[in-house]
Structure 1
Amino acid sequence: MPLGSEHKAGKIWDGIIEKTEKKLAIWKSQYLSLGGRVTLINSVLDSLPTYVMSLFPIPSSIVKVLDALRRNFLWQGNKIEKGFNLVKWPVVQQSKEIGGLGVRNLKVHNMSLLSKWLWRYNQEEQALWKEIINHKYGQEDLWCTSEVNETYGVGVWRTIRNLWESLNNNSKIVVGRGDKTKFWLDDWCGNGILRDLFPILFSICTNTNSKIEEMWSPQGWNIIFRRLLNDWEIDGMVECLGLIGGFPGTTLEPDRLAWGHHKDGVFSVNRLYNWGLKRCAGRSIGPWNTIWKSVAPAKVKCFTWLVARKKCLTHEAMQKRGINIVSRCLLCKEALETNKHLFMHCKVTAQVWALFTSIANEYWTMPEHTSDLLSCWIKRGGSKSQKRWWRTVPACIWWIIWKERNQRIFEGKECTIQKIKWKVITTLGFWCKEQDIEEEIQLVDFIGSLGGGLTTVAPVHDGYVLQKAVCTSPIGGGILTDCLIKSLEQKGITIKPRYSFKRKEIRPGEFQTVDLDFPDTTESYKLYCQRAIASDIKECVSRAPDTPYDDSSYSNIPTTSYELPDGQTIEVGADRFKIPDILFNPSLVQTIPGMESFAETAASLRGLPQMVIDSINKCDVDIRRELFSSILLAGGTSSMQQLKERLEKDLLEESPQAARVKVLASGNATERRFSVWIGGSILASLGSFQQMWFSKSEYEEHGASYVQRKCP
């Protein structure tokens, strides 16, 4: 620091500017993401001028130079050519809580550092520097020095002294002994200065300059007036006493200042700086805490911040900056690439959002803008760690979508929607593992597969199936379909296979069915075609009853219409409730005509809720609670209406009281039906899948058990 220089001389700051330029020269030789550059600016660049700024006011010209260096490094990085300044610099300098990146505002930071001297002036009673300041400038009162009006040699303290009014207005006096606080002239009661509140009383008071210790006694206040009070002055006196009537009395502690914007009253430079930022920028209501409290890496958080502010360099943003480019979404190839389309409304992106909303059992309507989405992306219930990884989901989806978009542009490679979903899930899991909360992100802890041939209940933990606890039942979608066919045949309704007829349009909107004869068709193929139609009837009109099925209760239930492929319309009544209830009460099969051969087996089978509970009870005690809280339905039969709600209801009744039962099912019926195939597709796309192959000779040597050993 040059000795003897004027406090506003630019040469004082030459060393700071030189150090900043050297730091940037080193960093520019390395590749740093936006998050890395923000971290370095906040941790290194902002701290370089701190010492000098705590002593001298920083000139506006120096602020412009340092801001230019930091701004160019933030947006340009290691690029030689000029980069885009995506967000205005005043917005970047706001704190993260109100929508900025937390880059220091040097002017506000300088004022906060200088104000600390005023705070220390009131806290350090015997400090040598305070005695020197008092001797040179004099004391206006016991809280601060007199105003500085001289011209030469007083610039530094004059700048600091000018900040006293702002600091005093945002502080409060905590009365101790009362030896520093003036009764009429200081704001000690929290409602304002008594002189300003009661000017008439002040004008006739004899002890206008007295301190509280002189005005207070154990018997009460000792306020002396030069004359008796008039009638209209008595009302003011009553109001004054009511205002100060709650004073608890003096203590042995000294009088002190307390910071008025925090409940503990402790002053710090950081608190004053944050208050100064809010005063300059105002209160910004937005989703910013959702971004910064997630478990995503710093670069992803900064990218999410850009997306929320609609400043990401999509085709739309580049066109606004004068770049001639054809706007087209590379994911859906249908719409223009805008910020809200790419990250929210694109068909591909919407399927990824649907994956997580179905897992969380949320009914979600996509908002208009990305910032609105973050504002309402809230997890209700669950632990703090679960809420934290849930806040990370938008950042993870946007990051993977952006990488997929760039891969299609620059590398010409495309990933399927299944692989994109898998990338999102694995990336989210990796981030959570890095933050030591991997146990909280069991997206699928328990799987119930309602397949065509069997119903399988398989507990999954840490990505592995617990083989010893797997339960199966022959009551699956195939049995339910056969029961429906037999029940319809009993009512005289025969399902015609699609190959056995042809529909001709004889008039607009009117069709005629013509029977076709295929004598060589096997009976098994005919039954297969009938089952396909009956399966669609089952999944479209069937509904799991809220309570166990009873013939008397459902005898008068309204029917539901269904049009068969041949144009015949049938009415399905109680069967649409009875068939799904077989999953919960297998003995109902005995009441279906034509299913007598299955009656003996059905009587000994367990219902779906009991299978789930038995399977969980076979697992370790430590993970049972997690399994109960994440039960996923998959398979075509799971598409039946109210099946999820009925299963959850029965499990709540039969499970332990401490268990928090939650049944999940994808909101997309197609995804629910083909979830097993989607999972297989994702598995086959992984590099580790090659290790799961085995040859025919290996299978013949080890048998079917080799499949479980090779693919646990």
Structure 2
Amino acid sequence: MAAFRLPRECIREIDKVCSAFLWSGAEMSSKKAKIAWGNVCKPKTEGGLGLRNLQEANNVCCLKLVWRIISNRSSLWVQWVDMYLLRGKSLWTATQRTNVGSWIWKKILKYRDLAKSFCKIEVGNGTTTSFWFDNWSTLGRLFDVAGERGIIDLGISKHSTVADAWAGRRQRRHRVAILNEIEESLDSQRRNRKETNDIAKWKGKGDTFQTKFSTKNTWNNIRLSSPKVPWHKGAWFAHATPKLSFCTWLAIHNRLSTGDRMMKWNGSASGNCVLCRNNIETRDHLFFSCSYTSTIWAAIAKGLWRARYTTDWSQILVCVSDQSQDRVESFLIRYGFQATIYTVWRERNGRRHGETPNTAATLIGWIDKQVRNQITTIRHSGDRRYDMAFQTWLQARA
């Protein structure tokens, strides 16, 4: 993708393969997806898994090729492009309807409209800056401002550089206000002329222009962003266990195959909770309004949560996403929350498939062991910030 604009059908097929593998593993079933691939590819802060959208990534790579043509005059590839494809003209004036160049060259040319808003030139001697098509003045690209008529009225050739516009002409007065503004901008630039090379700049973070191309900032500028979700810190945090975080992420999106959702797919399916057998199994009931799971949740969470303890799902999400808590306590709250969700969901699935039921005390023991093992793993990793985690956990469990 760094060298070619991939066909869109190719990208769609790759996305299908990736999606099938994510949701079904080696089985590669395309029918088991729980969340749309577009949402999966959103950043974690926006509710996704942080996987990169291939089409967006390919667009960024093609924009980088445009950037190289504009900025890297010493590159052998850019020199070849300039000699055989552009033939001394500006990239912005090259025509797409030509037999010159390959398929990928024609695709690169299609990215120029997108690249226009990203590129800006800091004029030095003006010898490499297109007067009409580079963004060098405070008015923007002058061709967009004045059009074909402006070329005639100003008497400056379509292929002129800024240095060419400076040479052999003086400022004129025009009846059209925008032409006078162009004349003033040109004269101002002439007075500030330097004997250094022109410098190409690319839009970075915060709409500031920099001399380097940033893949991350360009991606953030071209993609369609979504609002940040308030719960992402509760799902993704340092030293989290991926399978627990993934299960929690599905639960937050309400995409676990709970009884109420199964009834929507199959009207004859039983939607009753297999743990308490008293209510329809919804996400909010299972975590943690069910009499069976509430016992487990109380044993794990009450000592840590204290006055904040609740079995209401929305309130739990608010608490686990709170970033103002102590680091160690916050980790234990989040990790205990995720371990409980995963263990309860595994028990629920086991009962649905006829396995021997386990008591609440057994599940509490499993969760306790999971948390202790993770604390030990952190200690062996050398992260001293969590040295008090074991003591805090034991006090909460006492």
Shorter chain as denominator, the TM-score bin is 0.7 to 0.9
Q: Does 1:363 align with 2:308?
A: yes
Counterpart amino acid of residue 304 in structure 2: I
Deviation at 1:148, TM superposition (A): 2.4
Q: Given the alignment, which residue of 246, 263, 267 partners 2:213?
A: 267
Q: Which residue of 2 aligns with 1:161?
A: 109
Q: Which residue of 1 aligns with 2:141?
A: 193
Q: Which residue of 2 aligns with 1:98?
A: 46
Counterpart amino acid of residue 363 in structure 1: R
**Structure 1, residues 564-604: CA drift from partner, whole Å, max 9, x if none?**
xxxxxxxxxxxxxxxxxxxxxxxxxxxxxxxxxxxxxxxxx
Contact 1:56 1:156 in 2 (8 A): yes
**Distance across 2 between alignment mates of 1:386 and 1:189:** 55
Q: Does 1:138 align with 2:86?
A: yes
**Distance across 2 between alignment mates of 1:249 and 1:431:** 63
Q: Given the alignment, which residue of 106, 116, 134 partners 2:64?
A: 116
Contact 1:112 1:272 in 2 (8 A): yes
Q: Does 1:307 align with 2:251?
A: yes
Deviation at 1:400, TM superposition (A): 2.1
Counterpart amino acid of residue 53 in structure 2: N
**Distance across 2 between alignment mates of 1:215 and 1:153:** 30
**Distance across 1 between alignment mates of 2:110 and 2:50:** 27
Counterpart amino acid of residue 118 in structure 1: V
Deviation at 1:164, TM superposition (A): 1.8
**Structure 1, residues 265-311: CA drift from partner, whole Å, max 9, x if none?**
432445544544x32xx314213354233422222222222112111
Q: Which residue of 2 aligns with 1:292?
A: 236
Contact 2:301 2:333 in 1 (8 A): no
Deviation at 1:380, TM superposition (A): 1.2
Greater per-residue helix proportion: 2
Alignment partner of 2:68: what SS? helix
Alignment partner of 2:308: what SS? coil
Alignment partner of 1:305: what SS? helix
Q: Which residue of 2 aligns with 1:541?
A: none
Deviation at 1:134, TM superposition (A): 2.2
* CA 382–80 in structure 1, closer or farther in 2 if over 3 Å, else same: closer
**Distance across 1 between alignment mates of 2:11 and 2:138:** 37
Deviation at 1:212, TM superposition (A): 5.7
Q: Which residue of 2 aligns with 1:226?
A: 172
Q: Which residue of 2 aligns with 1:484?
A: none
**Structure 1, residues 525-583: CA drift from partner, whole Å, max 9, x if none?**
xxxxxxxxxxxxxxxxxxxxxxxxxxxxxxxxxxxxxxxxxxxxxxxxxxxxxxxxxxx
Alignment partner of 1:77: what SS? helix
**Distance across 2 between alignment mates of 1:387 and 1:74:** 29
**Structure 1, residues 96-155: CA drift from partner, whole Å, max 9, x if none?**
343333444333333333333212212321333223322333268555561221257632
* CA 374–272 in structure 1, closer or farther in 2 if over 3 Å, else same: farther
Matches within 5 A, 1:355-504: 355-356=300-301, 358-361=303-306, 363=308, 369=314, 373=317, 377-383=321-327, 387-388=330-331, 390-409=333-352, 410-416=354-360, 418-435=361-378, 436=381, 437=383, 440=386, 442=388, 445=391
**Distance across 2 between alignment mates of 1:183 and 1:145:** 12
Q: Given the alignment, which residue of 2, 25, 46 partners 1:77?
A: 25
Counterpart amino acid of residue 256 in structure 1: A
* CA 289–443 in structure 1, closer or farther in 2 if over 3 Å, else same: closer
* CA 108–320 in structure 1, closer or farther in 2 if over 3 Å, else same: same
**Distance across 1 between alignment mates of 2:266 and 2:347:** 25
* CA 163–387 in structure 1, closer or farther in 2 if over 3 Å, else same: farther
Deviation at 1:83, TM superposition (A): 5.3
**Structure 1, residues 599-626: CA drift from partner, whole Å, max 9, x if none?**
xxxxxxxxxxxxxxxxxxxxxxxxxxxx
* CA 82–188 in structure 1, closer or farther in 2 if over 3 Å, else same: closer
Q: Which residue of 1 aligns with 2:15?
A: 67
Q: Which residue of 2 aligns with 1:331?
A: 275
Deviation at 1:163, TM superposition (A): 0.8
Q: Given the alignment, which residue of 76, 81, 84 partners 1:128?
A: 76
* CA 78–319 in structure 1, closer or farther in 2 if over 3 Å, else same: farther
How many residues are paired up? 383
Alignment partner of 1:180: what SS? coil
Counterpart amino acid of residue 108 in structure 2: I
Contact 2:41 2:48 in 1 (8 A): yes
Percent of matched pairs sharing the same residue:
21
> Cα RMSD between the aligned structures?
4.4
Greater per-residue strand proportion: 1
Q: Given the alignment, which residue of 96, 121, 133 partners 1:148?
A: 96
Alignment partner of 1:122: what SS? helix
* CA 197–325 in structure 1, closer or farther in 2 if over 3 Å, else same: same
Alignment partner of 1:86: what SS? coil
Alignment partner of 2:202: what SS? strand
Deviation at 1:254, TM superposition (A): 3.9
Counterpart amino acid of residue 90 in structure 1: G
**Distance across 1 between alignment mates of 2:172 and 2:30:** 75
**Structure label with greater radius of gyration:** 1
* CA 66–197 in structure 1, closer or farther in 2 if over 3 Å, else same: closer
Deviation at 1:170, TM superposition (A): 2.8
Contact 1:121 1:144 in 2 (8 A): no
Counterpart amino acid of residue 359 in structure 1: L
Contact 2:304 2:333 in 1 (8 A): no
* CA 362–187 in structure 1, closer or farther in 2 if over 3 Å, else same: farther
Q: Which moved more, 1:385-394 or 1:297-306?
A: 385-394
Q: Which residue of 2 aligns with 1:613?
A: none
* CA 174–332 in structure 1, closer or farther in 2 if over 3 Å, else same: farther
Contact 2:329 2:389 in 1 (8 A): no
* CA 67–116 in structure 1, closer or farther in 2 if over 3 Å, else same: same
- TM-score (ref. length: structure 2): 0.75
Counterpart amino acid of residue 115 in structure 1: L
**Distance across 2 between alignment mates of 1:74 and 1:147:** 43
Q: Which residue of 1 aligns with 2:289?
A: 345
**Distance across 1 between alignment mates of 2:285 and 2:146:** 62
**Structure 1, residues 385-404: CA drift from partner, whole Å, max 9, x if none?**
66555543432221122123
**Distance across 1 between alignment mates of 2:325 and 2:192:** 44
Alignment partner of 1:257: what SS? strand
Structure 1 segments unaligned to the other structure (5+ residues): 1-52, 217-222, 447-461, 464-631, 633-665, 667-674, 680-712
* CA 173–342 in structure 1, closer or farther in 2 if over 3 Å, else same: farther
Deviation at 1:156, TM superposition (A): 1.8
**Distance across 1 between alignment mates of 2:87 and 2:374:** 58
**Distance across 1 between alignment mates of 2:309 and 2:132:** 60
Alignment partner of 2:268: what SS? coil
Counterpart amino acid of residue 392 in structure 1: Y
**Distance across 2 between alignment mates of 1:356 and 1:340:** 17
Deviation at 1:326, TM superposition (A): 1.5
**Structure 1, residues 66-90: CA drift from partner, whole Å, max 9, x if none?**
3333333222224498752212232
* CA 54–442 in structure 1, closer or farther in 2 if over 3 Å, else same: closer
